């Protein structure tokens, strides 16, 4: 059986892992003024954050078109027994709507299942990885789709932000809430619940916030897989990953990866996130 896995660039899966597991990543788009880039293709995370701090224009994001998804399905569907397409929460992006419409337009003989992860970043990434591993083990279409659905029920994604400014400018939270956090010099923590961004906690210093992040991870134990995601310098992420690796099954290490340009549009610099799959 050959079952193909498709996801989108908001999953923040390291390129090497996506290539190794044969995951097809459809890029979203980031625009600075009149310049438009494909997330992770035309613009790397490092290039994006350099632009974020130097550009007068704030970035805006957009989803792939129906035609772009259909082209991917047509290409990966050739000779395949099925496609499982897993995407960012439908409550924060129109990406899954485009994928669903493309499913109806694609000229393929194999079945396609579009799965709403109700997550973003490595919360979504965990579901895509779980499906890809089942496919690599020879799973048939239904078992791979079920692996994706099962993982969605066990995925968590939360993050420490340096500021709520970018979430507010991107329309994900209200201006008053962002202003209050700035005035009080609060380090906000957010979590995706039922597909939407919610407040998780807040701390007065980054050091205390990182410690809180670690405690929250431990509250979700036992854990099957863990990713630490960062924007900016990786030192804090590396230290946190080392601190939490005892939670993983023997032989597994935390995944270290960056928030890509689309997710970084809303997290800003110096964000530190967690994506995990509960056992």
What is the CATH number for 18?
A: 3.40.50.10170
Which of 100 and 181 is assigned the larger pLDDT?
100
Confidence of residue 54 (pLDDT cuts 50, 70, 90): confident
| Predicted pLDDT of residue 169 | 59
The residue among 152, 172, 199 that closes a domain is: 152
What domain count does the chain have?
2
Residues 194-213 have a mean pLDDT of 90
**pLDDT at residue 177 above 50?**
no
Residue 82: is the preceding peptide bond cis (ω within 30°)?
no
CATH at 266: 3.30.1180.10
Helices (H) and strands (E) in the chain, counts: 11, 13
φ, ψ at 158 (rounded to 5°): -150, 165
Confidence of residue 163 (pLDDT cuts 50, 70, 90): confident
d(CA 228, CA 230): 7
Q: What is the pTM of this model?
A: 0.92
21 and 138, same domain (yes or no) = yes
| Predicted pLDDT of residue 166 | 65
**pLDDT at residue 203 above 90?**
no
Q: How far is CA 273 from the centre of its chain?
A: 10
Q: Which H helix or E strand runs over 176?
A: helix 175-183
**Residue 105 lies in domain:** 3-28+63-152
205 and 120, same domain (yes or no) = no
Confidence of residue 218 (pLDDT cuts 50, 70, 90): very high
177 and 266, same domain (yes or no) = yes
212 and 148, same domain (yes or no) = no
The residue among 113, 132, 152 that closes a domain is: 152
Confidence of residue 174 (pLDDT cuts 50, 70, 90): very low
Residues 220-247 have a mean pLDDT of 96
Q: What is the mean pLDDT of the chain?
A: 91
148 and 182, same domain (yes or no) = no
57 lies in a domain? no
128 and 203, same domain (yes or no) = no
């Amino acid at each position: 059986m050959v079952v193909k896995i498709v996801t989108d660039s908001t999953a923040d899966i390291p390129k090497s892992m996506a290539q190794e597991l044969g995951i097809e990543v459809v890029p979203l788009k980031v625009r600075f003024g009149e310049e438009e880039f494909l997330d992770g293709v035309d613009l790397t995370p490092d290039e994006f954050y350099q632009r974020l701090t130097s550009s007068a224009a704030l970035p805006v994001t957009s989803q792939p078109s129906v035609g772009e998804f259909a082209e991917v399905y047509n290409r990966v569907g050739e000779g395949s027994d099925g496609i499982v397409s897993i995407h960012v929460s439908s409550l924060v992006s129109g990406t899954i709507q485009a994928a669903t419409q493309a499913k109806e337009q694609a000229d393929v003989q194999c079945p396609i299942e579009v799965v709403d992860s109700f997550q973003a970043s490595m919360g979504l990434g965990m579901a895509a990885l779980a499906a890809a591993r089942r496919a690599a083990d020879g799973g048939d279409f239904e078992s791979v789709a079920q692996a994706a659905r099962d993982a969605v029920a066990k995925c968590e994604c939360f993050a420490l932000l340096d500021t709520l400014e970018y979430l507010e400018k991107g329309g994900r939270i209200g201006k008053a809430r962002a202003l209050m956090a700035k005035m009080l010099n609060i380090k906000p923590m957010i979590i995706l619940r039922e597909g939407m961004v919610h407040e998780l906690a807040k701390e007065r210093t980054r050091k205390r916030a990182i410690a809180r992040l670690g405690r929250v991870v431990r509250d979700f134990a036992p854990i099957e897989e863990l990713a630490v995601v960062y924007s900016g310098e990786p030192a804090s992420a590396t230290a946190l990953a080392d601190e939490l690796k005892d939670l993983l099954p023997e032989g597994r290490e935390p995944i270290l990866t960056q928030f890509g340009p689309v997710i970084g549009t809303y997290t800003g610099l110096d964000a530190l996130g967690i994506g995990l799959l509960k056992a």
